[in-house]
């Protein structure tokens, strides 16, 4: 008979298991704890949206919308897209659910996101983000709170600052007036250096000239590095906003460095732009990125609403953290013989209901079972055979010390605690 070929994991997807899963879960639980300290509300939104939610808010000229989205018509003919990020969906929800009444609204979410990219280390087609946003706040205090939250998260993961190698790079994109003036100066500069630009950047020159600044193509670097900084174009208001953000970071003890080449391409990005970067992940060095997007909700057709937020890749963070200790097992229950097995079903249920982490062993010789219990890191083995059933007490072996004593079945929850 012909062998049936086993199905393959889809390229760019992951099965997260074992050590990797422990790191992954550690990132998520740390985020869950820290976001609560900052009083960010947990929210969950759909994995897919109408395609226009993303095309209108992220922008047609971005890599994400032009080449990375998973878009398909459903059976009813509606054009849908698997979310490539959270911000657009949260902005949509803010409008459709009437969340304006709660503004300023501090939101946190996490889950899978999808981008059709060339898979490599730290880059997948289904990956996971944690995300924090403040919608409806124009004050620099919101930017500061988000950045201090990000910093505390990275500190608690043990990867912030000099020791962990992740540092905050910060820039301002100014207000609309600043940005228009800077954009015009950049276009003039790059027009004068047309011959020095890569083909991609020549295309960007028309649609998205700011993006040339953070081009990774070596051909672009001389022209990008000699381009004018935004500083000469900052209006007093834009300068004051940036000063308020940096003063807030200094007051909170968050280290940052200015990176005048850090940009976000879309027209509605304003003021703060930032990335937390490391040199430990090669080309995938940005672990957390975000900024202020005061025009996004307007571009979705809603009332002009300021917003600021960030997203981080869970896999990239998980690659940087030390492996957390495996969860401890309080005891392994080892029944020997049919009668003991039957009894231990009830005993195990009782112990678990008492809040103890219990593994049930039901295969192999006594010696092998105890070796396995030891390998699992269990503190104790609860051995039950015909003799123990007759006595009404289990033989409890402490696996570290190797000592053994009888404990009445009724006393086990207390004894194992
Ligand atoms: P990159 O320059 O690495 O493509 P990006 O600018 O596309 O990143 P954002 O859209 O800002 O990334 O997403 C926020 C974070 O999500 C990134 O900083 C990164 O940690 C993570 N991330 C982005 N794309 C991927 C991916 N394909 N696989 C895994 N993580 C990713
Ligand atoms: Mg990308």
**Token pair belonging to 196:** 């020095």
333 Cα distance to chain centroid: 38
Report pLDDT for 265. Answer: 62
- Reported as a single tens digit per residue, the pLDDT across 98-152 is 999 999 999 999 999 999 999 999 999 999 999 999 999 999 999 999 999 999 9
Which residue's entry shows tokens 């620099």?
Answer: 140
- Counting ligands in written order, the one closest to the CA of 120 is 1
199: CB partners within 8 A, 6+ apart? none
Claim to verify: residue 261 and residue 292 sit in the same structural domain: yes
- Reported as a single tens digit per residue, the pLDDT across 293-312 is 998 999 899 999 999 999 99
Report pLDDT for 413. Answer: 96
Claim to verify: residue 58 and residue 117 sit in the same structural domain: yes
- Reported as a single tens digit per residue, the pLDDT across 362-415 is 889 999 999 999 999 999 999 999 999 999 999 999 998 999 999 999 999 999
**How many A from CA of 220 to the centre of ligand 2?**
19
**How many A from CA of 279 to the centre of ligand 2?**
17
291 falls within a domain: yes
Check pLDDT > 80 for residue 47. yes
- Counting ligands in written order, the one closest to the CA of 286 is 1
Q: Which of 222, 237, 95, 116 is nearest to 179 (CA)?
A: 237
56 falls within a domain: yes
Claim to verify: residue 381 and residue 410 sit in the same structural domain: yes
> Domain of 411: which CATH number?
3.40.50.800
Check pLDDT > 90 for residue 162. no
Instruction: Identify any residues that bridge with 333 across adjacent strands, giving them in sequence order.
Output: 360, 382
Claim to verify: residue 343 and residue 398 sit in the same structural domain: yes
216 falls within a domain: no
206 falls within a domain: no
**How many A from CA of 62 to the centre of ligand 2?**
9
Which residue has a Cα nearest atom 26 of ligand 1?
123
Contact 327, 342 (CB under 8 A): no
What's the rounded mean pLDDT across residues 313-337?
Answer: 93
> Three-state DSSP class for 106?
strand
Question: For residue 207, what pLDDT band results from cuts at 50, 70 and 90?
Answer: confident
| Per-residue DSSP letter, 403 | -
Say how many CA atoms lie within 13 Å of 370 toward its Cβ.
Answer: 17
12 falls within a domain: no
Report pLDDT for 251. Answer: 98
Q: How far apart are CA 308 and CA 295, in angstroms?
A: 11
Check pLDDT > 90 for residue 328. no
| Per-residue DSSP letter, 230 | G
Enclosing domain of residue 289: 18-175+235-320
Q: How far apart are CA 239 and CA 253, in angstroms?
A: 21
Check pLDDT > 80 for residue 161. no
Q: How far apart are CA 174 and CA 350, in angstroms?
A: 62
Q: How far apart are CA 90 and CA 107, in angstroms?
A: 9
Mutate to test the pocket of ligand 1, among 311, 312, 317, 319 (most ligand atoms within 8 A of CB): 311
**How many A from CA of 8 to the centre of ligand 2?**
25
Claim to verify: residue 38 and residue 139 sit in the same structural domain: yes
Claim to verify: residue 287 and residue 376 sit in the same structural domain: no
> Domain of 147: which CATH number?
3.30.930.10
Report pLDDT for 163. Answer: 66
- Reported as a single tens digit per residue, the pLDDT across 227-254 is 999 999 999 999 999 999 999 999 999 9
Report pLDDT for 1. Answer: 64
What's the rounded mean pLDDT across residues 85-97?
Answer: 97
Q: How far apart are CA 263 and CA 228, in angstroms?
A: 13
313 falls within a domain: yes
186 falls within a domain: no
Ligand 1 atom with the smallest distance to the CA of 122 is 29
Report pLDDT for 264. Answer: 76
Which residue has a Cα nearest atom 7 of ligand 1?
64
Check pLDDT > 70 for residue 11. yes
Claim to verify: residue 257 and residue 310 sit in the same structural domain: yes
182 falls within a domain: no
Claim to verify: residue 299 and residue 355 sit in the same structural domain: no
**Cα angle for residues 275, 277, 282 (degrees, 5° grid):** 135
**Token pair belonging to 45:** 């939104």
C-beta neighbour count of 20 within 10 angstroms: 15
Check pLDDT > 90 for residue 326. no
Claim to verify: residue 308 and residue 333 sit in the same structural domain: no
Task: Pick the last residue of a domain from 257, 285, 320.
Answer: 320
DSSP 154-179: HHHTT-BHHHHTBEEEEEE---HHHH
Report pLDDT for 282. Answer: 86
Q: How far apart are CA 380 and CA 148, in angstroms?
A: 43
Q: How far apart are CA 13 and CA 236, in angstroms?
A: 47
- Counting ligands in written order, the one closest to the CA of 124 is 1
- Reported as a single tens digit per residue, the pLDDT across 209-223 is 888 998 889 999 999
pTM, rounded to two decimals: 0.93
Contact 291, 173 (CB under 8 A): yes
Q: What are phi and psi of 415, to 5 degrees?
A: -65, -35
Report pLDDT for 240. Answer: 98
Domains: count for the chain: 2
- Mean residue pLDDT of the chain comes to 94
Task: Pick the last residue of a domain from 320, 349, 378.
Answer: 320
Report pLDDT for 287. Answer: 96
Claim to verify: residue 261 and residue 409 sit in the same structural domain: no
Q: Which of 141, 158, 166, 169 is nearest to 252 (CA)?
A: 141
- Reported as a single tens digit per residue, the pLDDT across 170-185 is 999 999 999 999 999 9
Claim to verify: residue 289 and residue 364 sit in the same structural domain: no
Which residue has a Cα nearest atom 21 of ligand 1?
313
**How many A from CA of 19 to the centre of ligand 2?**
26
**Token pair belonging to 241:** 């906003």
Check pLDDT > 80 for residue 164. no
Claim to verify: residue 300 and residue 372 sit in the same structural domain: no
Furthest C-alpha separation in the chain: 94
Report pLDDT for 410. Answer: 97
Sheet strands (E) in 51-125: 70-73, 79-82, 105-114
| Per-residue DSSP letter, 414 | H
Contact 417, 391 (CB under 8 A): no
Check pLDDT > 80 for residue 267. no
147: CB partners within 8 A, 6+ apart? 168, 245, 248, 249, 254, 256, 274
Contact 68, 82 (CB under 8 A): no
Task: Pick the last residue of a domain from 255, 287, 320.
Answer: 320
């Amino acid at each position: 008979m012909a062998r049936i070929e086993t199905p393959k994991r889809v390229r760019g997807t992951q099965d997260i298991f074992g050590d990797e899963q422990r790191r992954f879960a550690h990132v998520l639980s740390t985020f869950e704890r820290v976001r609560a300290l900052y009083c960010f509300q947990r929210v969950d939104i759909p994995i897919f949206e109408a395609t226009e939610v993303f095309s209108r808010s992220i922008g047609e000229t971005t890599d994400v919308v032009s080449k990375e989205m998973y878009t398909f018509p459903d059976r009813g003919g509606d054009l849908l897209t698997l979310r490539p990020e959270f911000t657009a969906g949260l902005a949509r929800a803010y409008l459709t659910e009437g969340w304006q009444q709660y503004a300023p609204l501090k939101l946190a979410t996490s889950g899978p996101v999808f981008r059709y990219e060339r898979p490599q280390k730290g880059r997948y087609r289904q990956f996971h983000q944690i995300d924090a946003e403040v919608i409806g706040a124009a004050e620099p205090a919101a930017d500061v709170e988000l950045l201090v939250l990000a910093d505390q998260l990275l500190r608690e993961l043990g990867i912030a600052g000099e020791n962990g190698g992740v540092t905050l790079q910060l820039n301002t994109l100014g207000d609309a007036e600043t940005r228009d003036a800077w954009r015009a100066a950049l276009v003039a500069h790059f027009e004068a250096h047309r011959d020095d630009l890569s083909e991609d950047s020549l295309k960007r020159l028309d649609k998205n000239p700011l993006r040339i600044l953070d081009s990774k193509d070596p051909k672009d670097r001389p022209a990008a590095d000699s381009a004018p900084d935004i500083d000469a174009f900052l209006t007093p208001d834009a300068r004051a906003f940036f000063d308020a953000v940096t003063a807030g970071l200094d007051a909170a003890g968050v280290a940052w460095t200015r990176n005048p080449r850090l940009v976000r391409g879309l027209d509605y990005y304003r003021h703060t732009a930032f990335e937390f970067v490391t040199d430990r992940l090669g080309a995938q060095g940005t672990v957390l990125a975000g900024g202020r997007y005061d025009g996004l909700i307007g571009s979705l057709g809603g009332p002009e609403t300021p917003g600021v937020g960030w997203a981080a890749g869970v896999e990239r963070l998980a690659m940087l953290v030390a492996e957390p200790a495996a969860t401890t097992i309080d005891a392994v229950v080892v029944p020997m013989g049919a009668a003991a097995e039957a009894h231990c079903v009830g005993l195990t249920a009782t112990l678990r209901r008492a809040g103890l982490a219990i593994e049930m062993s039901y295969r192999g010789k006594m010696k092998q079972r105890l070796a396995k219990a030891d390998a699992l890191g269990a503190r104790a083995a609860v051995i039950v055979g015909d003799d123990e059933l007759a006595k009404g007490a289990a033989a409890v072996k402490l696996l570290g010390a190797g000592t053994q004593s009888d404990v009445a079945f009724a006393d086990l929850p207390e004894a194992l605690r």
